[in-house]
Amino acid sequence: MVIRILPNADALADAAADEIAQRLSPASGGRDVGLAGGSTPQAAYRRLAERPLPWSEVHAWMTDERHVPIDHPESNAGMAGRALFDHVPATLHTVPWHEAAMEAAAAFERHLASILPLGPAGIEPWLVVLGVGEDGHTASLFPGSPALDAVDRDFVAADVPGRGWRLTATTGLLSRARHTVFIVAGAHKAEILTTVLSDECDLPAARVAREARDPLWLVDGEAARLL
């Protein structure tokens, strides 16, 4: 595990764009990326749009989605489109809309199987980019969510108390990613970051990080102040 502490949110966004671009460069051999939703990564995605990558060969997907149409303000794919995919010729694979969230998740799971590389243990994303919530969730794997138990699935839906239906990559799928980058910023994340990085933590973000093959943590000084 590597932790890079950047002096501020701007430097963090630049570093995140650089690290993602490096893993999608022609020399890297990888062309797929699962992206986090939320607000932290937006600055990095905007900077990534300016990086000279083979964008027409890049296939992107959201590691989680709210159960809303893509034109809804809460849509993660909508956010990523405005920040990045409206500006580069990459393909953003979006969760198909179904009234039933579980049907949408199952349909997207089948779609991921058709676009992501297949390894010995199942589909193997090249790169996933994740955030961490103040409760220790990552993607839409929330503490106590039944999605955490779906170890034989790649992408599922769960009704999250207080947040509605969420669709998410599972710990199984995330653990098979070749590269994992976490992006965490802000003083409000200092406590949870310290908790998640502690050895005995079993919160979802800690589980995903522990099972990751080479987790890279990109954090700003405010989030790192208790480390």
Binding site for ligand 6PG (CB under 6 A): 36-40, 64, 76, 131-133, 137-140
- Write down the least CB distance from residue 27 to ligand 6PG, Å: 28
The closest residue (CB) to ligand 6PG is 131
Candidates 213, 221, 179, 194; CA nearest to 132 is 194
Return the SS3 of 54: coil
The answer to whether 86 and 80 have CB atoms below 8 angstroms apart is no
Q: Which is nearer to ligand 6PG, 54 or 227 (CB)?
A: 227
State the minimum distance, in angstroms, from the CB of residue 52 to ligand 6PG.
26
Nearest to 63 by CA among 11, 117, 140, 160: 140
Nearest approach, Cβ of 76 to ligand 6PG (angstroms)? Answer: 5
CB of 193 to ligand 6PG, least distance (A): 11
**C-beta closer to ligand 6PG: residue 123 or 168:** 168
Instruction: Please say whether the beta carbons of 23 and 54 come within 8 A.
Output: no
DSSP H/E element including 172: helix 171-175
Q: CB nearer to ligand 6PG: give 133 or 215.
A: 133
